[in-house]
Amino acid sequence: MFLGVDTGGTFTDFVLFDGQQIKVHKVLSTPDAPDRAILQGIEELGLHPLIERGELILVHGSTVATNAALEGKGVKTAYITNRGFKDTLTIGRQTRKELYNLTPTETPPPVEANLCLETGGRLDANGSVFEPLTAEDIALLKAQLAELQPESVAINLLFSFLDDQFEQQIEQAIGDSYYTSRSSYVLPEYREYERGMATWLNAWLGPLVSTYLTQLKDRVSPSPLAIMQSSGGTIDASQAANRAVNLLLSGPAGGLAAVRSLTKDINEQRLLTFDMGGTSTDVAVIDGEIRLTNDGHIGDYPVAVPMVDMHTIGAGGGSIAYLDQGGLLQVGPESAGAFPGPACYGRGGTRPTVTDANTVLGRLRPEAFLGKQMTLDLEKAKAAVNTIAEPLGLTTEEAALGIITIANEHMTRALRNIAVKRGEDPRDYRLTCFGGAGGLHVCDIAESMNIKTALVPRLGGVLSAYGMLVAPHERQLSKTVNLDSTQLQWSEIDQQLTDLIEQGRSQLLAEGVLSEQLEQQVSADLRYQGQSFTINLAIEPRSDLIERFHQAHQTRFGHSMNLAVELVTLRVRVFAFTHQISMPELSNTISNTGDQASAPEGEVALFQISDQVPRYQRESLPAGAVIQGPALISEQVSTTLIKPNWHATVSKHGHLLLEQH
């Protein structure tokens, strides 16, 4: 038995797979103690006997690292670097949020000055010793740490990616008194600022993640527990505690892992995705594989470890609508969260949210919400939206539609940002929505982007939890080499790649993955000489690697140059799909594909649509059924609105394939 668990801002989602059938479940999240909601869901699903026998495999997308980073609640961390470089993290890249603001708000440095320690052990750019690490240096560091009493220590020495002997000496000298994170383990790449930030984040968040995962692992023992990484692959919980910085996009990565797996269900590779949950919306592009980036951010912090390339905005079902000082309607980024939640949840919320607006417009049905596990209070939703409507001189429904329109525009702008700015035409992709709220907005957003096809996956409301089950066990490893392409010694490069592959294989073998299940992919970051940014390309076939770089540069930036090319960083992905889990096909099928769907559950009134609109129950729709819009499709974990001039076809796996007439 396999259980995927995704902890979101409003709901914690569960997907249980017994080898043949899938069962889904939702409980309200408990942000103060995320494991409490997980244990509640396990109890409600009746899984404790399986856990006690070690027969349940759990895969979890955790928000502990993300929330701590965004809220600035890491532990007291000392930062050790070479002499003269203690201000590296404070200086950063000298970029400003507001370029033309002459009086910007001062932001505190990541690490307080008194926690930045300097020492010897410095290498030059060739890896030669520039300044040794002496016994006196070690003794001084130990004395300073004893006085400061930090909980964690981050070690980031210059050019340690070439030779990590000095970082290892410091780590061994300070012993187990502190949670220790060294850059040559976390991110052995060039750029001391980005490497230092990743190392510091890992140390700053590590004890919190370690404590949480240790407690959760103990509570589900002897059943195994794996954690989703930001790159879309899983890692054993015992190892994840040492890689907190690799978990910052743990939950959203699960959704993309699921979308990648269902490309084979619909036989399409190019999908433009938005994951609309209770608190935020994540947008991304999938072209057969998940796109990764080493230039991500969490809040104000750069995160140079591999993570899914996505853009996140504060627009979700719980996003709060308000009037700004000029009397204009705004939506988000503040969210009602799980408690008190939207007003329609009846848990004390009084401020209008996107969910309340959808309820007022008739799109969310009190009689069919969350499979009737939870009721919606329409009157409280109207009362909340009226706090916006009355000052604007609008009806309740008009104000609700305004809230939806603004939320849609936020998501449309984010989708354009991640597609167009990367040289992609959104019309070449099928718009794919998931998350509990996505299906209500997919047609509107597709129309605003002139996209004619869309996809609402089966289990879309819990797709990130499903993604936990279909994601591979994985390690992403890298090392900066900085080589001129005209002088490449492939024998040396192959040795470097072999070392990285063996590291990844040994780590996965230690987690119980079988050797014959392991696969690997190798790639390299390349750039023109003098550039600071790179393009990642598969190394094979190596015979035309440089020519492929010129072509990729032309495609992405509109030009190529007659300059020398540098091979900057080697990257290795070692992975294994240990469990063959796929979306089951529907058991009921219409004999003549294209026939109308079976009779609706009933009819409902929707704002701005004169006639009654049929409402279908998605779980009862057969494969091959066609639903003409306007229509409302309810299911246990979400709701989909099919607008006029759209129709939906149910695929054999239960996905809704939408097309505009």
What is the tens place of the pLDDT at every residue in 231-274? 999 999 988 988 999 999 888 899 999 999 999 999 999 999 99
Tell me the β-bridge partners of 642. Answer: 631
**How, if at all, do strands 57-61 and 225-228 pair?**
parallel
Given a cut of 90, is residue 28 above it in pLDDT?
Answer: no
Q: How many CB atoms lie within 10 A of CB 133?
A: 21
Nearest residue to 608 (alpha-carbon basis) of 389, 403, 354, 361: 361
Model confidence at 129, pLDDT cuts 50, 70, 90, reads very high
For the entire predicted model, the pTM comes to 0.88
Q: How far apart are CA 376 and CA 355, in angstroms?
A: 10
**Structure tokens given for 565:** 């090319």
Residue 224: its pLDDT value, please? 93
Q: From the centroid of its chain, how far is CA 485?
A: 34
Q: Which residues of 603-612 are buried (b: 16+ CB within 10 A; e: fewer)?
A: ebebeeeeee
Tens of pLDDT, residues 567-626: 999 999 999 998 888 888 888 887 665 556 667 878 888 888 878 899 999 888 999 999
Tens of pLDDT, residues 289-316: 888 988 888 878 889 999 999 888 888 8
Nearest residue to 202 (alpha-carbon basis) of 220, 184, 219, 217: 184
Domains of the chain, CATH where assigned: 2-69+210-250 (3.30.420.40), 74-208 (3.40.50), 473-576 (no CATH), 603-660 (no CATH)
Residue 501: its pLDDT value, please? 96
What is the SS3 assignment for 22? strand
Phi, psi of 270 (to 5 degrees): -105, 110
**Structure tokens given for 545:** 């690697």
Q: How far apart are CA 479 and CA 524, in angstroms?
A: 10
Residue 139: its pLDDT value, please? 96
Q: Is the peptide bond before 541 cis (omega within 30 degrees of 0)?
A: yes
What type of residue sits at position 18? D
- Say if CB 173 and CB 134 are below 8 A apart: no
Q: Which residues of 302-319 are buried (b: 16+ CB within 10 A; e: fewer)?
A: bbbbbbbbbbbbbbbbbb
H helices within 109-267, ranges in order?
135-148, 165-174, 183-186, 192-220, 237-240, 250-266
Q: Residues 6 or more apart from 92 whose CB is under 8 A from it?
A: 193
Task: Name the residue with higher pLDDT: 69 or 503.
Answer: 503
Residue 597: its pLDDT value, please? 60
- Say if CB 230 and CB 251 are below 8 A apart: no
What type of residue sits at position 243? R
Tens of pLDDT, residues 370-400: 666 778 899 999 999 999 999 999 999 999 9
